[in-house]
Structure 1
Amino acid sequence: MRTIVITGSSRRLGLFLVEKFLSMGDTVIAVTRSDPQDFQPISSEHLHLIQIDSYDQLGITKTMQAIEALADRVDLLINNASMYDADPESVEELEDHYLSLFNVHMLFPSLLISALKERMYNESTPGVVINMTDIYADNPNPEYSLYCSTKSGLESLTRSFAKKFAPGIRCNSIMPGPIQFLEQHTEQQKSEVYKETLLPFEGGYMPVFQAVTFLLDNHYVTGTSIKVDGGRSICRG
């Protein structure tokens, strides 16, 4: 039985990944800032919740204390926690906004990977780290410049940690595109996205899970990134 740690695990892709790995018989340690009530529909003795208040050193301390009591070995860490917010219009709000993005996308993954090193490092059967970034890391959206820059930073950290922890830990990233629209997206907004995507339909979460399982199972891949975006990053325009 494998042990999987997933951050940002209470909704959308994170929750989907939690449910998929539980269905495969794995033990899942779900790190979240959300209320544990969000997980009520899931009934499994193999699901362990760690609720933290913030993605910072205090959050790491609480996370590691819980993991140390639960598992001697971590096979897979998925850094999925994310904030997708546009740049603030007010200069006064910029610092707090940027620090929040930095903490979620760069600081917490860095701290967690480093803290879990002893439980993941094994040259015979390396632990696996997968960072969820964004195709905007390569081609930034100017309205979300701060978000994009921290996702780009996580891309760089992925390659840095691949070098730092080889051969005992493999580190890769997945760069999703328009896999699942939000409820507030209008049909017009969806249509505009489809026009700029080579595969003009909503991908759903399963293609991301398939990329995760590929990176988990392929023992000769590290320091790389997989785009799961229906070709949006190389649109015809």
Structure 2
Amino acid sequence: MSASPILITGGAQRLGRHCAERLLDDGHELIISYRRERSELETLRERGVTTLAADFSSEAGILDFIERLKATTSSLRAIVHNASDWAPDSLDSDAGATFERLFRVHMQAPYLINLHCRELLTACTEPQRDIVHITDYVVHKGSKKHAAYAATKAGLDNLTLSFAAMYAPEIQVNAIAPALIMLNEGDDEAYIEKVKAKSAMQMIPGPGVIYQSLRYLLDNRYVTGITLPVDGGRHLR
């Protein structure tokens, strides 16, 4: 536990929300960013979570978030960059705008937050401070339908190396690269079986495996500059 809060971007749903709830259970103070208001946020607020609206689709929105974050806290124990946009490629006139949005969410927002919030991390009096980037399994495989998504997540993966070298030894910077962890509403049995067959473990594990991975990074003082794959052994297929 730490007196300095942990920031999770995109912490209102799915993996981000699960990690937020588990960190709360472990006694940590939390700040989360969210893109739009949703009912789950009120439950988190009732548990003491500070919630900050954030628009990471523009540089101005990113810088505005950083300014409000600094007005909210004087230190951070960790930053978990979980905010993401799973937008498919298209051939229409919006293709360039889609790529730009994904670049800003997956790369520019973490880049600027890491740069501008270094002082918040170094102000933490705990012996360990962390930055964790949530990337994706497709970084090393590519994607036929989500090329812009894969490319910008690959950029985030590379930022892990740069910031790890830049901020050592005071701040550890690592990444977690999940494959499919959770199902969406409406996923049918045929899709589920197809997805299971892609990994050696042949399962859809649920969000707990991401929290286990995050917990490992937050608890280990001798790990920096690595990407931890959580993909069920897809490379074995």
Smaller-chain TM-score bracket: over 0.9
Question: Which residues of structure 1 form unaligned runs of 5+?
Answer: none
**TM-score, structure 2 normalization:** 0.93
Match of 2:23 in 1: 21
Match of 1:61 in 2: 63
AA aligned to 1:164 is M
Match of 1:113 in 2: 114
AA aligned to 2:144 is P
Q: Does 1:71 align with 2:49?
A: no
Query: In 2 relative to 1, CA 212–100 (structure 1 residues): closer, same or farther, beyond 3 Å?
Result: same
Among the aligned pairs, what percent are the same residue?
A: 28
In 2, distance between residues paired with 1:222 and 1:55? 28
- The answer (yes or no) to whether the contact 1:126–1:167 under 8 Å persists in 2 is no
- The answer (yes or no) to whether the contact 2:59–2:104 under 8 Å persists in 1 is no
In 1, distance between residues paired with 2:52 and 2:217? 25
SS in 2 for 1:72: coil
In 2, distance between residues paired with 1:63 and 1:93? 26
- The answer (yes or no) to whether the contact 1:174–1:226 under 8 Å persists in 2 is yes
In 2, distance between residues paired with 1:204 and 1:85? 22
SS in 1 for 2:67: helix
In 2, distance between residues paired with 1:138 and 1:161? 20
1:141-220 map, 5 Å: 141-220=143-222
How big is the alpha-carbon RMSD for the aligned residues of Structure 1 and Structure 2?
Answer: 1.8
Q: CA deviation at 1:74?
A: 0.5
- The answer (yes or no) to whether the contact 1:124–1:168 under 8 Å persists in 2 is no
| Farther off after superposition, 6-15 or 40-49 | 40-49
SS in 2 for 1:178: coil
Q: CA deviation at 1:136?
A: 0.1
Deviations 1:151-206 (A, max 9, x none): 11100011111011111111000000111011132211111111121111111111
Deviations 1:35-63 (A, max 9, x none): 15431223545310101233433223332
SS in 1 for 2:95: helix
Match of 2:6 in 1: 4
- The answer (yes or no) to whether the contact 2:181–2:206 under 8 Å persists in 1 is yes
| Farther off after superposition, 94-103 or 186-195 | 186-195
- The answer (yes or no) to whether the contact 2:196–2:202 under 8 Å persists in 1 is yes
Query: In 2 relative to 1, CA 50–43 (structure 1 residues): closer, same or farther, beyond 3 Å?
Result: closer
Q: Does 1:96 align with 2:110?
A: no
Deviations 1:80-116 (A, max 9, x none): 00111211132x2211010011000000000111111
Query: In 2 relative to 1, CA 210–55 (structure 1 residues): closer, same or farther, beyond 3 Å?
Result: same
Query: In 2 relative to 1, CA 54–156 (structure 1 residues): closer, same or farther, beyond 3 Å?
Result: closer
Between the two proteins, the alignment pairs up a number of residues equal to 234
1:129-144 map, 5 Å: 129-144=131-146
Deviations 1:121-142 (A, max 9, x none): 3798242000000010011111
In 1, distance between residues paired with 2:128 and 2:21? 24
Q: CA deviation at 1:18?
A: 1.4
SS in 1 for 2:138: helix
SS in 1 for 2:145: helix
